[in-house]
Amino acid sequence: MRVRGITGAAFITVLLSMPGAALAADGPNIERVEARLFYSHSGSLSAPIAPDAALWNVIIGEGDASEPSESTLVDVILRGEPGDYPPGVLDIVVTETRSGKVVLKRTSALGIFSAQGRFHVPVWLSDTGCIPLTVKASLRGGGGSRASLDIPFHCGE
């Protein structure tokens, strides 16, 4: 196959190298899980929490928090074919890291993927800030991918 002087293989290589391109033959996949602090004073969200974030006493605005935070927005970012409305279900489980106690379970059907091949599934966590949490996301159907994120909250003197 030729497209304006480009072979089919070269065309596919160009498509795969483009930002936002997704040619997932086996269906959508979880690209990543992010979490952001919700700031109680301004009503704004932090940048995504880094793996090495200092989340000590964020409920009073300490550590890497720029102001007090008692809620967290988790964003599971999926990648798939642009414009696709694939079958599949995303399971999200949030647990207290130390005890394993389940804080939240959510199952969400997938929606229509953006022109960039992305679909976001948000989860709002209330009363966060002192207990370390683990977020696990798994996709049923398609590629069956999994991802997790540890949120290292701590409180103390």
The DSSP code sequence of 91-122 is EEEEEETTT--EEEEEEEE--PPPTTSEEEEE
The answer as to whether 6 is a domain residue is no
| pTM confidence score | 0.81
Overall domain count for the chain: 1
| Per-residue pLDDT tens listing for the chain (157 residues) | 333 444 433 333 333 333 443 444 578 999 999 999 999 999 999 999 998 999 999 999 999 999 999 999 999 999 999 999 998 899 999 999 999 999 999 999 999 999 999 999 999 999 999 999 999 999 997 667 999 999 999 999 8
The answer as to whether 13 is a domain residue is no
Rounded-to-integer distance, Cα 136 and Cα 80, Å: 19
Domain limits for position 76? 26-154
CA angle 60, 65, 67 (to 5 degrees): 55
The answer as to whether 81 is a domain residue is yes
